[in-house]
Amino acid sequence: MTADKKARLAFLGCGGFCTASILPGVARSGIIDIVAMCDIDRERAEDRARRFGGSRVYTDYEEMLDKEQVDGVFVIGPAPQQYELAPKVLERGIPVYVEKPSANTSAQAVEMAGIAEKHGTWGQVGFMKRFCEAYTIGKEIINCAEFGSIATVHIKFGQGDYPQIWGIDSARRAFLIGQCVHIFDLARFFGGEVKAVYSLYTERTETQFAYLINVEFANGVIGQINITGLESSKAFSDIQERLEVAGDMQLLTIEDMASVDWKRKEDWLSEPVRRGKFSSQYRPALLTVVDGHTFYGYKGEAEHFARRCLGEVCEGPDLWDSARALAIGEAVYESAQSGQRVVVAQV
């Protein structure tokens, strides 16, 4: 990619999440040219254009798409809104970026992926954990020959209570759709496709609950996912996340999307001590963490979208990945309700 080549991208929807998480990284990117902002609230669109860039402002997305020559469009909003609007862009053959999940159900997500393919284009989904610095380091570790084949994957995700959103019939189902698709995609990213799940469920209130999930991967790896809203009183600020991947007498541990610990098979010393563990560690410096939009993957995922729009990269978290993560969540819910092992629908 030449230094002066930029992707011409537009925004359809300029709400709170877009403003807090996506636009700051996009504005600092050297490979993205924001050509237009569109929102039904013109004042909001004008404010975002002033703060982050954007040559023109629209309240009608059809007018924007008619007048602007764009390489791709960020369609960011609640899942039902993305399910309504993203296909309108895809039908014009224009790539879209949507937040996770792309829709409320795996069937809707499959429908959207099919629309993209029918019109010769594609969509990226905001699974930003794949671009998080700690997880990219972890991915490199498990892919090296020394780590060997993966045996187990364990994930713990904890936060406070979770609301009922997006017209979904309960908070306990909404948690799996609106939040934990991130965790299900993370499981696939490190362990491979999920074959089946067996889930246990407990709740304190309608918005405070937990799932404990045994996971069978299609490649023979086994694992467990613990997702809970019972450990914190602060719903979206006090979050704990831990990933453990075991290999050939190796253990990778990543805490809170930040620190990386690799317990290797071989000790550092020729005469090993009898107690204690030898590991390689990564601890981010304070200045690294301060740049949260880069550190946690938001800037990286936006730039990946831009590079793919320019034809510089291919693949990445796409509309099919959203459908597969949603299918895992649906199997988890079904298993928790039935008390049975459930095979994940292959989409």
Distant-in-sequence contacts of 139-147, Cβ < 8 A, 24+ apart? 139/189, 139/190, 141/252, 141/260, 141/262, 142/190, 142/245, 142/247, 142/252, 146/248, 146/250, 146/264, 146/265, 147/247, 147/248, 147/250, 147/252
Centroid of chain to Cα 151? 24
The CATH superfamily assigned to 7-129+300-318 is NAD(P)-binding Rossmann-like Domain (3.40.50.720)
- The pLDDT profile of the chain, 347 residues, written as one tens digit per residue, is 445 789 999 999 999 999 999 999 999 899 999 999 999 999 999 999 999 987 899 999 999 999 999 999 999 999 999 999 999 999 999 999 999 999 999 999 999 999 999 999 999 999 999 999 999 999 999 999 999 999 999 999 999 999 999 999 999 999 999 999 999 999 999 999 999 999 999 999 999 999 999 999 999 999 999 999 998 887 777 899 999 999 999 999 999 999 999 999 887 777 766 677 788 999 988 656 557 788 899 999 999 999 999 999 999 999 999 999 999 999 999 999 999 999 999 99
- Return the domain boundaries, the chain: 7-129+300-318, 130-291+324-343
3-state secondary structure of 198: strand
pTM beyond 0.75, yes or no: yes
The CATH superfamily assigned to 130-291+324-343 is Dihydrodipicolinate Reductase; domain 2 (3.30.360.10)
